[in-house]
Amino acid sequence: MNLDVMLGDLEELVVCESFSADHEAVARSARVVADQGLRRLGARPETIEIGGVAHLRWSFGTPRVLLVGHHDTVWPIGTLATHPWSLVDGIARGPGVFDMKAGLVQIFHALAALPSLDGVCVLVTGDEEVGSPTSRTLIEESARGCAATFVLEASADGGALKTARKGTSNYTVTVHGRAAHAGLEPEKGANAAIELAHQILAVSRIADRVNDGAAPAGPDGLGPATVTPTVLSGGTTVNTVPALAAVEVDVRVPTLVAQNRVDELMRALYPRLAGTRLEVGGGPERSPLEEASSARLFELACRIAKDLGMEPLRGAAVGGASDGNFTAGVGCPTLDGLGAVGGGAHAAHEHVVVAEMPGRTALLTGLVQAVLG
């Protein structure tokens, strides 16, 4: 792998800012990514616009291996002025360099080293950082029928591959009550805020019921399910019994069983105060990426890394979700975290250790070749 060429490609992607919320910027970025893919793969992608968001897909023959990445970032347009592209002492910096533009460079260079691309599909989405609302169906459709998905999200600490991820669910619990004058006749109202307090306490106990006393997993484990009330709203004026109140709930689960159990308990919530009623909206969003989905691919990666003379690979279970949750959710074996080695995703110290890029790229080449073979 020619590291200088890779770094030139990385700079090209980083200096084209692609904040998820700015669809025009994401479209510009998609054109840059498409041109880079054309240079490395010899083919122009299909550009798929959904809900104003630009996604890219290269397909060669009948896909059996899917490579997944995203070109949007969390960094607002103008961040380059304060966090410019730089390459100093083997460390590359800039908005999105680690999460996950270096991973895109590694995809293109890994595939360019293959004798044939027949059986490969590359999907680069434009809205992963906001939960993949427009690309989820595209990701799932692309993964169905494939023998493996490799996700080029950045690595875990120290370059570890991501062998498991928690699943996510989001809920909104809305309480409908009845307004009344808070000073003159509060007894004629049904206080949605008081009922919401009961519901927040009920929600806070759901995790204990799901985990059933299980102790948190070790430092590399996912840990237990968490069910966390977060954003609260309610009421209109200080002298009015609130007729409406709501709480948003963030859920993270290590297994599909736990995700389904949380959903069951959330939908079983019931009002405590007369005159109030509940509405529970939302539900599961990303299924967990369980270790069973990644185990064989991780073993394969370890063998290939050894043959390449690399340091032994490590696997890590992480709490954050990615598009790999979607591919695993449709039954496609999935290995995540194959992208850059570095750190600081979504933070001012975001960086990539560039010396690791050629080895990680060769590893990906070997993985694709082995599955296709």
pLDDT for 204 equals 97
Same domain? For 128 and 36 the reply is: yes
pLDDT for 215 equals 47
pLDDT for 101 equals 98
Same domain? For 138 and 19 the reply is: yes
| Per-residue pLDDT tens digits for 230-244 | 999 999 999 999 999
pLDDT for 218 equals 39
User: Rounded to an integer, what distance in angstroms lies between the CA atom of residue 113 and that of residue 304?
Assistant: 15
Amino acid making up residue 102: A
32 DSSP β-pair partners: none
Same domain? For 251 and 308 the reply is: no
Same domain? For 258 and 176 the reply is: yes
Same domain? For 135 and 11 the reply is: yes
User: Rounded to an integer, what distance in angstroms lies between the CA atom of residue 140 and that of residue 132?
Assistant: 11
pLDDT for 220 equals 45
pLDDT for 223 equals 87
Same domain? For 189 and 244 the reply is: yes
Same domain? For 190 and 336 the reply is: no
User: Rounded to an integer, what distance in angstroms lies between the CA atom of residue 352 and that of residue 356?
Assistant: 8
Same domain? For 317 and 257 the reply is: no
pLDDT for 222 equals 79
**DSSP codes joined into one string, 190-201:** B-HHHHHHHHHH
Domain final position from 286, 316, 351: 286
pLDDT for 221 equals 67
Question: At CA 299, angle to CA 295 and CA 301, rounded to 5?
Answer: 115
Same domain? For 234 and 260 the reply is: yes
User: Rounded to an integer, what distance in angstroms lies between the CA atom of residue 287 and that of residue 285?
Assistant: 7
pLDDT for 253 equals 95
Task: Give the total number of structural domains in the chain.
Answer: 2
CATH number at residue 223: 3.30.70.360
Domain final position from 238, 266, 286: 286
Same domain? For 101 and 189 the reply is: no
Q: Which residue range is the domain that position 358 belongs to?
A: 3-165+288-372
User: Rounded to an integer, what distance in angstroms lies between the CA atom of residue 329 and that of residue 309?
Assistant: 33
Domain final position from 239, 259, 286: 286
C-beta atoms surrounding 271 within 10 Å: 17
Same domain? For 30 and 160 the reply is: yes
CA distances from 228 to 172, 231, 247, 270 (A): 11, 10, 10, 18
Same domain? For 25 and 147 the reply is: yes
pLDDT for 213 equals 60
Q: Is the pTM of this model over 0.85?
A: yes
* Helix (H), strand (E) at residue 35: helix 23-41
Q: Give the pLDDT means over successive 10-residue stretches in the chain (373 positions).
A: 95 98 98 98 98 98 98 98 97 98 98 98 98 97 97 96 96 98 97 98 97 56 90 98 98 94 98 98 95 96 98 93 96 98 96 98 98 95
CATH number at residue 93: 3.40.630.10
